Structure 1
Amino acid sequence: MHNFEDELTCPICYSIFEDPRVLPCSHTFCRNCLEDILQASGNFYIWRPLRIPLKCPNCRSIIEIAPTGIESLPVNFALRAIIEKYQQEDHPDIVTCPEHYRQPLNVYCLLDKKLVCGHCLTIGQHHGHPIDDLQSAYIKEKDTPQKLLDQLTDTHWTDLTHLIEKLEEQRSHLEKMVQGDKEVVLQYFKELSDTLEQKKKNFLTALCDVDNLINQECTPQIERMKEMREQQLELMTMTASLQEESPLKFLEKVDDIRQRVQLLKQRPLPEVQPVEIYPRVSQVFKEDWSRTEIGQIKELLIPEMKISSKRMPCSWPDKDVKEVEFFKILNLVIVTLISVILMLTLFFNQHVITFLNEVTSTCFAEVSLSVYQSLSNNLHDLKNILCHTLYLLKEFMSKIISH
């Protein structure tokens, strides 16, 4: 601590002098410090009430104090003026107590191992603690840094360094593992997202195909019905205008309108059958997708959606292929059988005609010819029926396969 500050510190309380009083021996102390000493020693000198003896804490001289006490001692005005000027100035190089304003840390507390000010010892939390002056405490603790350095450089800290390196290597390894797992997660969910996106596109494409089927199925019929409706409205207008025509014009137009009305009414109206879409997407999600694990999403098939006037079970592409193949084979077999029957019939018809020609030429005349013509006509009708049946069967099988 600065020597000038030592001159301003009370040797009793180790604080900056407060109301400094001068003893006859020329030593100066705080007024409160002298009051405490006088109060502590006054009980031993009751027998001399006129003069109160006081031993100087510095030189140990016996001083007699007037009965008015410490108040009778003169004030050290010069020292007080110096202290006031000192306290008004800033001293950044002087360390002061954080708890007591402008009190320097000039005493070392041996119990708490820290610097304290005089107020900390007298009225603060260090009251009654053993103390030492700064110089003595410094000498005692001077060799401590080397001892601490020896403790901080032994094998314990070498082991600590190795442990830190080992932990850093372990952390680096774990971080690489976590980074690898992050990449796996990103790749996995990217593939899953791509798969789901593709499935979504497939579903939307299938629904667009169904929409096109609906337009192909319904639009032509709607257009034909609208055309009939327009013709109806046109004929209604023409019929209403007949009342204003002359008899000649009336008779010229009425029959034409009558025929057009009859033709329009004879045009058959289609039967509107209830049409359904199968399979429904909600049904597919509920029955198949909701029961499918994530890893099996790629294996899920998008159903081929169709429209039908009858409720049909959900059919998947591979099942549809099998059914189409079955119907194709069945169609081929039926067509083959009918073709064979037709060929046999034609063959039989030709031989019958030849046979009847021979019989009629030798045995019969007019009667046999009529029988031959009747039989020939029947065979020709049978041939036409078989051909028509074959055509209808082919049309029926084609519709089944297309649906």
Structure 2
Amino acid sequence: MAERGVVAGLKEELTCPICLSIYSNPVSLGCGHSFCKECIQEARSRRPSPQSPFSCPLCQARADPAAELQPNVQLRSIAQKFLDAPAQQEEEEREVQCEEKGESSGQEDEVILCDFCLQEPQPAAKTCLSCEASLCQAHLIKHNTKSPSKDHVLMEPCDSQVLAKRRCPQHGKLLECYCETDLVCICMLCCVMSSHKDHKITCLEEAFGRVQSVFSETLDKVKRHEAELKQSIENLLKKEEEVKTKEHLQKSRLESLFKEVYLQINDKKEEILKALRQNEEEQLSQIRSEIRKYKEMKDAVSRDIQELKALRDQKDHLLFIKTFAAIQAREPKPVPDADSVKLPVLPVILDESKTDITLRSLEQFLSSVQFLFIRLPVHEHLTFTVRSKYVVLSSCKEVTPSSASSSKAGACKALPHVVSDQKFSKGCHFWEVDTSNATCWKLGIICHTSECYLEMSHDYLHVVESQIIVTEELPTALKVVRLCLDCERNTLSFYDVSVKDGDPDVSLRFIETVSIPGTYPVRATFGVSDGSLNLL
């Protein structure tokens, strides 16, 4: 057994660090390390260019690439004698057998290869962070026996990308410390040269111990956070399904509504077009009948003309007189006036006024659809703090004129008004006003450049925008008026709000929609000279 240990130790000293075989024609570098001549020459040939520096594979000492390799004659002689010894031959046979057994039982997985194997690289057993190289088991044994390499940091085999992450990107040194101030891993130079020099620094082992002590607590905290996020996602998914369901329902209702409207309009269109076609056929039939009658009368007159022309050559007095008398006795009927022909009355008379009424009804329908399906405005309960010179606020819900305002604004000219405290710049809002106790009033919005309002003046209702009447001939039987301000579409709409007898549900009747300049913010404005306005 002692002899076998001596042989193993001698073999280790006579093994080339590159090929891991007994030295063959060994040569020495300036640092004193020896290698097989072929191995070191191949290692030198791997340089990017002949001018690139060359380092010793063991100690990384710089060597002159142009220097001639010096043969180590003594080492070569010792290696040859070792190879000729019987004990060495038996050892080699046992190693071959072990390698064959290992190859037969191993699995072919993708592994990191040894950086020192030149001919057939073997799978790496460890990676040296100091050397930045991966070593197989054989090279690892050789690596660990060298005094300068005993303090190197070893880790599981990894590639160059992992190695790069374990080095400081600023100094290129190993990350051996932990900065508790910035919670980052740093190298030794960072501790004394960079912004971390005044921070609380610990070694990785101590930092690892502290992390391990709070690891379970942190894991539980992260798990709770994950559960909260999961619950939030489930709630959002539920809301998503609710939105999809509501959207599908609204879409179905809207499609049904427009389909029904289309069917009714199309049926009415076909009915009217059919009536127009029938009326056209009746008129054309009557006109053609009159044309045939007139043609018959024309043919009779043409025959009389021919007979009169032929009578010119009649020399017999008796025949001339008898024939002329007969022609003269056929007194021609008076030619009728074409306008006197009575035709069937058109079933539809579509003039400009009826076109406007129809389009207004369509606008009312579209506005109702927009109100029902697109968005619901926010009901604003307005308040006031500003009092006009001629308007008295008996409460925050009622606007009444003073005696001075009644005399000055009797004709509803320049109605005194108050404005709301609230300003509106975005969104969709509405407010309602009871006008049943007032006969001369105006309701609308106002800003520093323009004013738009609905005005009632002695049973005459109209919409005014920037002192210009934009709509007249509006329904005047109003009790409650709703004003709907849409800041996104820059529109102000007016609705008649009434309650049907026996039906508590509020119904809306469209009055008018006006485009406003879009100069925000705006305020609600109220004016009255006779009676009072009540805010609902």
State the TM bucket, normalised to the shorter chain. 0.3 to 0.5
The structure that has the greater radius of gyration is 1
Q: Which structure's residues are more often helix, by fraction?
A: 1
Q: Which structure's residues are more often strand, by fraction?
A: 2
Please report the TM-score for the alignment, with normalisation by the length of structure 1.
Answer: 0.37
Please report the TM-score for the alignment, with normalisation by the length of structure 2.
Answer: 0.30
